Amino acid sequence: MEEKIRQNLYQYLLSRGKIDERMPECPDLEDKWPELAQAYLPDGIREFNAYPTVSLGWVMFIGMAMATYWDKDWERYGQTPNIYEQMRNQRGFDCLDEYILEDVLHMKGDGLKQLNDLVAE
């Protein structure tokens, strides 16, 4: 199922011109995924029935945050324990998108709205 979602998302974002055809490889982030998923799944599963778009969309935001952390200072962020929980606890699960968009990605205005709309789509 994960691979199917990945391929569908890849094709969608590619068709919208939002990503390059060649996906970047980042073993550092791929190695961190099991830890992130284990921490995220209890929240994501709990919310999935009522808010499936949110449950899946938040994973996209988490991925963007992790890519930003990798660019900024992976030596620091890569060693951070419970990094998902630290992000979530800033404003709570319901506002995880706002925290990542505003405080991690430092977005505002039209760019913030466009990215939020893209993820919601």
Q: What is the pTM of this model?
A: 0.89
Portion of the chain with pLDDT greater than 70, in percent: 100
Rounded distance between C-alpha atoms, residue 77 and residue 117, angstroms? 27
Rounded distance between C-alpha atoms, residue 6 and residue 1, angstroms? 9
Rounded distance between C-alpha atoms, residue 104 and residue 35, angstroms? 20
3-state helix, strand, coil in the chain (%, to 5): 80, 0, 20
Q: Quick one: pLDDT at residue 9?
A: 87
* Residue 52 φ then ψ, to 5°: -60, -35
Eight-state DSSP code of residue 82 = T
> Could you say which residues of the chain have pLDDT below 50?
none
Q: Quick one: pLDDT at residue 19?
A: 87
Q: Quick one: pLDDT at residue 6?
A: 82
Q: Quick one: pLDDT at residue 86?
A: 96
- Three-state DSSP class for residue 63: helix
